[in-house]
């Protein structure tokens, strides 16, 4: 019997900023909203994904600017069933920036670094991640 393998290639059309912070998600979002002048809110439903044989849910906060159409999406790395991106265990949150033409990702990361509850924020290359498909939320 023939066996077919589906090979899917995703186009990651977002910039990724890793955030290290021991702050609770709602507290970090409050600081991000104040600093970046945005209004991220928690989604009614958490992001669910199958990690191996275990289902995991991760908190997600989103904001889309009506004027610029830039979108911000904050995802918590640690979920109920494990880490969303296991090779980045030291990172607590990932900020995905869609259509953010007004500011460079480096500028956003350096702005986030100034927040007192943030230990580290840096731009990551999505293509270098082993489990990058886990970041596809919608």
Closest listed residue to residue 72, CA positions, set 63, 82, 60 = 63
Q: In terms of C-beta density within 10 A (0-12 exposed, 13-18 middle, 19 or more buried), how is residue 82 classed?
A: middle
pLDDT tens string, the chain, 138 residues long: the values are: 677 665 555 566 889 999 999 999 999 999 999 999 999 999 999 989 988 788 999 999 999 988 888 999 999 999 999 999 999 999 999 999 998 777 899 999 999 999 999 999 999 998 888 888 888 765
- State the Cα angle at 113 between 108 and 115, rounded to 5°: 105
Q: Two tokens at 34?
A: 């104040």
Distance CA 105, CA 102 (A): 10
Distance CA 112, CA 23 (A): 13
pTM of the predicted model as reported, rounded to 2 decimal places: 0.88
* Per-residue confidence (pLDDT) for residue 10, from 0 to 100: 54
pLDDT at 1: 65
Asked if residue 79 lies in contact with residue 56, where contact means CB atoms within 8 angstroms, the answer is yes
């Amino acid at each position: 019997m023939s066996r077919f393998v589906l090979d899917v290639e995703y186009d990651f059309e977002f910039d990724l900023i890793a955030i290290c912070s021991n702050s609770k998600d709602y507290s970090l979002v409050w600081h991000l909203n104040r600093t970046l002048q945005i209004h991220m809110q928690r989604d009614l439903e958490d992001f669910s994904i199958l990690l191996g044989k275990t289902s995991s849910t991760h908190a997600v906060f989103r904001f889309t600017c009506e004027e610029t159409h830039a979108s911000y999406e904050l995802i918590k790395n640690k979920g109920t069933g494990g880490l969303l991106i296991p090779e980045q265990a030291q990172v607590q949150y990932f900020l995905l920036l869609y259509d953010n033409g007004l500011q460079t990702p480096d500028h956003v990361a350096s702005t986030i670094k100034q927040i007192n509850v943030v230990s580290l924020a840096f731009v990551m290359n999505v293509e270098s991640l082993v489990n990058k498909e886990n970041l596809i939320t919608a």
